Amino acid sequence: MRVAAHAPYSRFRVGAAVLDAEGRLHSGCNVESASFGLTLCAERNALSTRVADLGRGGGAGLEDPVVVVAIRTDAETPTAPCGACRQWLAEFAPRAVVVAEAADGSTATWAVDELLPNAFRGDQLGG
């Protein structure tokens, strides 16, 4: 999915794949905007693709756990997800193992709790 990246500004191409407990794979790439701050990262793209792929509406199916989130770049070392993606991971893939792979095939692995301890989640909204 990295090859699909739209990264004309940074030239930093990222691919992400989300594997759920049913064995379904949902993928995404980074999509940059000319208004740089509106850029969408590969991880959030893949997680939102999963919502669309489930096609059930109302969040049905999202309770099935995401097992693995894989990230691939052309960098020399594995790159951890950015802060915004960590928030999405905490909400949409809280029990996943996150595996990042660099160009040479080296990997780094984290639990989502490790990437974003004490995350804010929707169940704290109350009201």
Residues carrying an active site annotation: 43
In the chain, DSSP assigns E strands to 14-20, 25-29, 66-73, 97-101, 107-111
How many residues interact with ligand THU (rule CB under 6 A)?
13
In angstroms, give the least distance from the CB of 124 to ligand THU. 24
| Residues 23-42, mask of contacts with ligand THU (x by CB under 6 A) | -------x-x------x-xx
Give me the sign of the Cα torsion angle 115, 117, 123, 126: negative
Cα 40 to the chain's mean position, in Å? Answer: 10
Tell me which residues touch ligand THU (CB under 6 A): 7, 10, 12, 14, 30, 32, 39, 41-43, 81-82, 85
